[in-house]
Structure 1
Amino acid sequence: MARHFEASQATYTRWIAAALDAAPCLDRAGTGGGAHLVMTGDVAPDWASFPALLSELENGNTPEITGIEDHELPVFIPRWTRNTPVDHRALGKIVRAIHRECGLRLRYVSMKRGEEGRWRCIYPIGLERMGDQWRLVALDLDKKDLPLRVFVLARILGVDDSPCPLPKGFSKPGIHDADLSVHARPNPAMTPDQAIVTAHELRIHDGKITLNQRTLFEFYRRFGSQPLSDDAVWPPLMNSMENG
């Protein structure tokens, strides 16, 4: 605690007492400045389990949150991409629009062949992380049926300060669109052990996978045999292991 948080000795003592109350698997050892927490023989609560620790690490939490120092458990997180919009001011405007529950104009470019950035009127609902990519989930106000869309944050060129008017009678929707339960079709070339770990990794239960409607194409592209759309400019790089 002293390494990461500046506080008085009395505050450290209160924090230790609070930790002891929250976790019966902990006990206090030492006194004064040498006081510290130790594990007892009791089972740790779920929030202190190793799966919970991995979840914290997946969320990018640092030792200040996890309590695990680098010398205790080295964690490596390669970063291939940048997730902020091209205009660094855009993210703040997006967050404020979500908080204020108002429409927003953003200039966005998709990876469709020949597409240039164009202004879109949207109603931002929230942010979501898809793998190592952060996206904005929003309703498309330019369409009469207000379809749910996702916009990759790094492909947002800018945000206009002038709000987009909402349709008459508009009510705020939730971020989750319809869940679909689809049959998993395992690759017959897999060994039994490969089938076991695949079912575990992809959350296959009773031969089915539950997915959000908006994630189907990407899921099938990554784990299935979904072909690439003919009008997409993909992949963005032409490098390979052979040509660098």
Structure 2
Amino acid sequence: MLELLEQTPFSFAQTGLKVPDELRIAGFKIRQANPFDPQVAGTLLHATIRGVQLDLMYVGLRYGEAARWRSVMPLSFDTFQGQWRLRAHDLESADFPVKSFVVSRMLDAQVSMNKKPKGLRLESGEIPVRRYRAKLNPRMTADQRLVIGRELGLNAKGEALISDSAFFHFKKTYMKSHLEGEESLVWPLVVELERMT
């Protein structure tokens, strides 16, 4: 039932509940991003559907980085926590790895006039899901380990499936934060994450 309630809007026929008369639900996004340029979005959609190379005016987050043109081969879109990303081969990196490019960080997008690089083997654009073993904070009580294991979706071996698109968010949420050093809390919840597959 909770999974159905998360998928708002839902109907009375699906749940048998009148919201908000019978059940109040509060849900908030951490942030609401400003809409991105519709012309850029149109170019991204066109290039991804047609399988054509793109040049992106993109702002990365490395220290001191300014906007610059990046050449990519789009594969698919990904949305996570309200953030749209373009999954694409980075044509400027050796072996053309698949990377995520955040759409709101794109200042411009143009269909490229360059030819596809030789040796480029297109991937499907599917987001890999990998198995990780999580080592929980040893300061936790047995009850805390039980409920945090449930929250994180850990199996009996302490393993969870985490998609590549959610990995950074998982680490940021459960392993690193401003709460470190707060002695009254058991933090971080996860002290080590080992990739199994």
Q: Considering the TM-score relative to the shorter chain, is it more than 0.5? A: yes
Which amino acid counterpart does residue 105 of structure 2 have in structure 1? R
Greater helix fraction, Structure 1 or Structure 2: 1
Higher Cα radius of gyration: 1
In structure 2, do the counterparts of structure 1 residues 182 and 145 end up closer, same or farther at CA, with 3 Å as the change threshold? same
Shift of 1:52: 4.3
In the alignment, the residues of structure 2 paired with residue 201 and residue 175 of structure 1 have an alpha-carbon distance, to the nearest angstrom, of 28
2:75, 2:97 → 1: CA distance? 12
Higher relative contact order (CA 8 A, sep 6+): 2
User: Identical aligned pairs, as a percentage?
Assistant: 28
**1:65 Cα deviation (Å)?**
10
**CA distance, structure 1, for counterparts of residue 45 and residue 13 of structure 2:** 24
Q: What letter corresponds to residue 191 of structure 1 in structure 2?
A: T
1:187 matched to 2:130: no
* Contact 1:220–1:226 under 8 Å retained in 2: no
The question of whether the paired residues in 2 share the 8 Å contact of 1:135 and 1:153 is answered with yes
Farther-moved stretch of structure 1 (115-124 vs 217-226):
217-226
Which residue of 62, 68, 81 maps to 1:118? 68
The residue aligned with 1:173 is: 123
Equivalent-residue separation in structure 2 for 1:137 and 1:196 (angstroms): 35
Q: Counterparts of 1:134 and 1:161 in 2: how far apart (Å)?
A: 19
Aligned to 1:102: 52
Aligned residue for 1:185, secondary structure, equals strand
Range with bigger deviation, 204-213 or 168-177 = 168-177
1:219 to 170, 173, 177: 170
Q: For 2:170, what is the secondary structure of its paired residue? A: helix
Larger strand percent: 2
Aligned to 2:20: 71
| Distance in 1 separating the partners of 2:158 and 2:66 | 42
In structure 1, distance between residues paired with 2:35 and 2:96: 25
The 1:101/1:182 distance shift into structure 2, 3 A limit, reads same
Q: Please give the alpha-carbon distance, in whole angstroms, between the structure 1 residues aligned to 2:46 and 2:10.
A: 26
RMSD of aligned Cα (Å): 3.0
Q: How far, CA to CA, are the matches of 2:12 and 2:77 in structure 1?
A: 24
Partner of 1:184, secondary structure, is: strand
Structure 1 gap segments, 5+ residues each: 1-49, 228-244
TM-superposed deviation, 1:131: 2.4
Shift of 1:106: 0.9
Q: Is the 8 A contact 2:59 2:66 kept in 1?
A: yes
| 8 Å contact from structure 1 (residues 84, 91) kept in 2 | no
- Give the Cα–Cα distance (whole angstroms) in 1 for the partners of residues 13 and 150 of structure 2: 28
Contact conserved, 1:83 with 1:153, CA < 8 A, in 2?
A: no
Paired with 1:137 and 1:74, the residues of 2 have a C-alpha distance of: 37
| In the alignment, structure 1 residue 156 sits paired with structure 2 residue 110 | no
* TM-score, length-scaled by structure 2: 0.72
